[in-house]
Amino acid sequence: MSRVSARVRSVAAAASRACRPAMRASVAPIPPAARRPTRIPLPPEGARKLVPIAPTPAPQTMATRARKRWTGSGACDMIGNRWWRDGRRAVPHATAGRSREPPPSGSHRHCPVPVSENAVPVSSVPTPQIAHEEADRIPLSQVLGALSHALDLTEGQPWGHAARTCLIGMRIGESLGLDPDTRSQLYYSLLMKDAGCSSNAHATTEFFGTDDQALKAGLKFADWTDPLRLKLFALRSAALGQGVGARVRQLLHMARADEGTGRELIRIRCDRGAEICQSLGFPRATVEAVRCLDEQWDGRGAARGLVGDEIPLLSRIALLAQTLEVFAARDGAARALEVVRGRAGRWFDPDLVAVLRGWEGDHGWWGELYGSDVLSRLSAVEPEDRIIRVDAEGVDRVAESFAQVVDAKSPFTGRHSTRVALLARGIGEVLGLGPVELRDLYRAGLLHDIGKLGISNRILDKNGPLTPLERKQVERHPVLTWTIVGQVEVFAGIARKAAVHHERLDGTGYPWGYGAAELGRDDRILAVADIYEALTATRPYRAGMPPERALSILREMEGVALDSGMVRAMEAFEETGAVPEPGLAPEPGPPP
Strand partners, 348: 344
Rounded CA-CA distance 536/402 in Å is 23
Backbone angles phi, psi at 83, to 5 degrees: -110, 130
Nearest residue to 369 via CA among 341, 339, 327, 338: 327
Q: How confident is the model at residue 260 (pLDDT cuts 50, 70, 90)?
A: low
- pLDDT at residue 53 greater than cutoff 50: no
pLDDT at 546: 95
Cβ atoms of 116 and 124 closer than 8 Å? no
Q: How confident is the model at residue 203 (pLDDT cuts 50, 70, 90)?
A: confident
pTM, entire model = 0.77
Residues 6+ apart with CB under 8 A from 409: 154, 198, 201, 202, 452, 453, 457, 460
Nearest residue to 457 via CA among 233, 242, 198: 198
pLDDT at 134: 45
Rounded CA-CA distance 273/193 in Å is 7
| Weakest-pLDDT range from 371-385, 558-572, 576-590 | 576-590
Is residue 357 exposed (0-12), middle (13-18) or buried (19+ Cβ within 10 Å)? Answer: exposed
pLDDT at 314: 98
Report the length, in residues, of the chain.
Answer: 592
Decide the pairing of beta strands 82-85 and 88-89.
Answer: antiparallel
pLDDT at 234: 75
Long-range contacts of 539-543 (CB under 8 A, 24+ apart): 539/74, 539/75, 539/77, 539/412, 539/414, 540/74, 540/411, 540/412, 541/73, 541/74, 541/75, 541/412, 541/463, 542/72, 542/73, 542/74, 543/71, 543/72
Mean pLDDT, rounded, of the chain: 78
Catalytic, out of 68, 452, 472, 497: 452
Residues 6+ apart with CB under 8 A from 538: 414, 544, 582, 583
Please give the average per-residue pLDDT across 45-65, as a whole number. Answer: 33
Torsion 425-426-427-432 (CA) sign: positive
Rounded CA-CA distance 532/426 in Å is 13
Residue pLDDT, tens place only, 381-440:
999 999 999 999 999 999 999 999 999 999 888 899 999 999 999 999 999 999 999 999
Q: How confident is the model at residue 360 (pLDDT cuts 50, 70, 90)?
A: very high
SS3 84: strand
SS3 530: helix
Q: Which structural domains are found in the chain, ordered by start? A: 2-36+157-199+263-388 (1.10.3210.10), 121-136+391-575 (1.10.3210.10)
Which segment, 53-62, 123-132, 216-225, is predicted with the most confidence on average?
Answer: 216-225
Cβ atoms of 230 and 25 closer than 8 Å? no
Residue 245, Cα to own-chain centre: how many angstroms?
33
Rounded CA-CA distance 489/473 in Å is 27
SS3 542: strand
Please give the average per-residue pLDDT across 367-374, as a whole number. Answer: 90
Residue 110: CB atoms within 10 Å: 20
| Weakest-pLDDT range from 37-51, 123-137, 293-307, 326-340 | 37-51
Verify whether residue 452 is a known catalytic residue.
yes
Bond from prior residue into 591 cis (ω within 30 degrees of 0):
no
Residue 167, Cα to own-chain centre: how many angstroms?
21
Torsion 568-425-48-98 (CA) sign: positive
Cβ atoms of 482 and 44 closer than 8 Å? no
Residue pLDDT, tens place only, 384-398:
999 999 999 999 999
Which helix (DSSP H) or strand (DSSP E) does residue 82 occupy? strand 82-85
